[in-house]
Structure 1
Amino acid sequence: MNAEPRLVLATHNQGKVRELRQMLRGHVPGLDVDTQVVDAAAVGAPDVVESGVTFAENSLLKANAVARATGLLAIADDSGLAVEVLGGAPGIFSARWSGRHGDDRANTELLLAQLSDVPDEFRQAAFVCAASLAGPEGEIAVESGRLEGTLLREPRGDGGFGYDPILQPIGESRSCAELSPEEKNAISHRGRAFAALLPAVVAALS
């Protein structure tokens, strides 16, 4: 079987790669998802500066850059937390809200402090994800997914990452960080965006 890569996910996150492989398994005749669906490092794809002003723009920037650099179909995503009373912030700045990129604790503490006086009935928020598919010739499709919820007043749970401990999904009594990985993946913004993108991926690979 041909083991040359056919689809690259513009990330170094192996969890995302596993998720995409699982979604594609059995959908494309002749596609060996374990060897032909790879991450950015496997094909020497470049790191891309996320200079867009929306999740969709950033995901497209990454997908287009990686597709052009590798000559392969490429998928990229960008995601974050949108808080209603903050007009959608932190948004694309979610990972660096405190000024230090990737400092989950500092980001969460700052956000909770900023919302300390906001009544519970106005603490609506959502995790948002945009996922893009591009080929060497350019954009093919962009899809989005949302996980709606409300913000808790203090972190709960040890699972997940980022703002998971303070977002309680609608209809749930637990935070995202208190859900099992399987429960979270079933309702997650990223899972929904990837699922919406799947038909375009299947068509492009078939």
Structure 2
Amino acid sequence: MRIIVATHNEGKLQEINRILTDELKKVGSSADFELVSAGSLGLADPVEDGVTFEQNALIKARTVAKETGCPAIADDSGLVVDVMGMAPGVLSARWCGKHGDDVANYKLLLAQLSDIPDRNRQARFVCAAALAVPDKQKIDGVYAIDDEMTAHGEMKGSLIREPRGDNGFGYDPIFVPDDQPKEVAENLNDMEPLTSAQMTAEQKNEISHRGKALRALAKSLVPLIAG
């Protein structure tokens, strides 16, 4: 079965592939599937005009499924800061007014939080993952959607005042997850907790909002793949 991932990020494609493979192994299925990115097919990114992560994930999944006739997976995620009333939320990637300028985004956020004491700087990354399954017939030139589902994941933590780490992207350098790698959690008296940007990809994926959402979605995909 061919499944399209609504992304131009090949790293995300590999992450989803690992998660699906692991879930199939858990149920003892040897069913074959092929994941293909929307980017590799030359598909344009749809306009994400939803007001929730779930709406934007569904917009992307539906668009790709309608265009290709294949089941499609998409996700949408961002940072939610408690004291800011759920902001930046769905505007996380363009908080500074320009889409994708990670440094400008987190610098603006830090400036807005400059007077907030450390005890009130709780935040969380939120992810919604979506699956859209198309019907086999086209209506007005596009495939209709036969079924769809969503799953959610969160990674709780807090925001520090200066960036640390060179890994990851977005707000990772200023976000310290509550869940820390075992070797760090056991030695917090002697070392400071890691930001998401100081963790390896494996450490972050184990606890990340995206990993949790995609693993939950994968459980719904297994019956579809296994047939």
With structure 2 as the length reference, what TM-score do the two structures score?
A: 0.84
Equivalent position of 2:16 in the other structure: 20
| Partner residue, 1:202 | 222
Deviation at 1:47, TM superposition (A): 1.7
Q: Deviations over 1:16-74 (max 9, x none)?
A: 10011111226153314xxx211003334342110100000000011011101100000
Residue in 2 that maps onto 1:181: 201
The answer to whether the Cα contact below 8 Å between 2:165 and 2:173 also exists between their aligned partners in 1 is: yes
Q: Which amino acid aligns with 2:38?
A: A
- Which amino acid is 2:216 matched to? A
Superposition pairs of residues 1-206 of structure 1, within 5 angstroms: 6-25=2-21, 27=24, 28-32=29-33, 36-136=34-134, 137-172=145-180, 173-206=193-226
User: How far apart are 1:171 and its partner, in Å?
Assistant: 4.3
58-67 or 5-14: which moved more?
5-14
Number of aligned positions between the proteins: 199
Across the aligned residues of Structure 1 and Structure 2, the Cα RMSD in angstroms comes to 1.3
Residue 6 of structure 1: how far off its partner (Å) = 1.2
Rg (Cα) greater in structure: 2
Structure 1 gaps of 5+ residues are none
- Residue identity matched to 2:159: L
The verdict on how the C-alpha distance between 1:50 and 1:112 changes in structure 2, with shifts beyond 3 A counting, is same
Q: Deviations over 1:131-160 (max 9, x none)?
A: 000011244210010000000011011111
Structure 1 residue identity aligned to 2:96: S
What TM-score, normalized by structure 1, do the two folds share?
0.92
CA distance in 2, matches of 1:160, 1:171: 16
Q: Distance in 2 between matches of 1:40 and 1:138?
A: 20
